[in-house]
Amino acid sequence: MAGFLSGIRSLYLSVYNWAVFYGWFQVLYLAIKTLKEYGHEQVYDAVERPLQLAQTAAILEILHSLVGLVRSPVSATLPQIASRLYVTWGILWSFPEARSHVLVSSLVISWSITEIIRYSFFGLKETFGAPPSWLLWLRYSTFLVLYPTGITSEVGLIYIALPYMKASEKYCLRMPNKWNFSFDYFYGAVLVLGIYVPGSPHLYTYMLGQRKKALSKAKTA
């Protein structure tokens, strides 16, 4: 019975990883093609749907961690996925004024290269038992550049959207109301920017530790 359940787990995770890999590959292809042919102003329109699907699918990874399907701790998985969902839906989808900025291109290229490597790594691991050594190195090394470029793009786009949040008052809740509660999306975004300050170095340090552990283990294997 245990072997059967283990097989079902591997099959599910294999299908999941390869499906999301395809989504991110599509994002990268469309981003580069559009950037080359039409310029950065058109990149978001080209990648919107596959970007939203691929990034939203990552919600399942939080569930995977919670139920023990994968070993990744929720404390590391949740902040990264939450911040990306916030930028995908709470910024780019909600405020079209930010979509034509060049930071959208650096964002989706950084995200998609990172995720193509990550999902192919785990897809091969679940399908064949182990990924090739070169992919292991890419999995634990490309973030050294792509994480800073991705985070810089996220923070930049949130900042760019701030004036439009304030002017539109979108998602704001004003008093009086039946809940006797008020909320200002603009100040919520400022708070999110504040969280990036300690959160980004913490996650980067965590990934450096994971890199050292993974590559050291690979050398002794």
Alpha helices for the chain (secondary structure H): 2-37, 43-57, 59-67, 74-85, 102-128, 133-139, 143-168, 185-220
Structure confidence by residue, pLDDT tens digits, 39-62: 999 999 999 999 999 999 999 999
Angstrom distance (rounded) from CA 188 to CA 7: 44
Query: Minimal CA–CA distance to 151: which of 208, 192, 210, 116?
Result: 192
Contact 100, 92 (CB under 8 A): no
| Tokens 């072997």 belong to residue | 3
> What percentage of the chain reaches a pLDDT higher than 90?
78
The pLDDT assigned to 134 comes to 95
Query: Minimal CA–CA distance to 92: which of 37, 57, 46?
Result: 46
CA angle 129/132/134 to nearest 5° reads 150
Q: Which of 44, 119, 140, 147 is catalytic?
A: 147
**Is residue 154 annotated as a catalytic residue, yes or no?**
yes
The pLDDT assigned to 177 comes to 85
Mean confidence (pLDDT) of the chain = 93
Residue 183 bridge partners (DSSP): 173
Q: Which of 61, 115, 126, 154 is catalytic?
A: 154
For residue 61, give the amino acid letter: E
The pLDDT assigned to 221 comes to 60
CA angle 88/123/69 to nearest 5° reads 80
**Is residue 119 annotated as a catalytic residue, yes or no?**
no
**Statement: the pTM of the whole predicted model exceeds 0.75:** yes
Query: Minimal CA–CA distance to 108: which of 129, 127, 91?
Result: 91
Alpha-carbon dihedral sign for residues 36, 42, 43, 46: negative
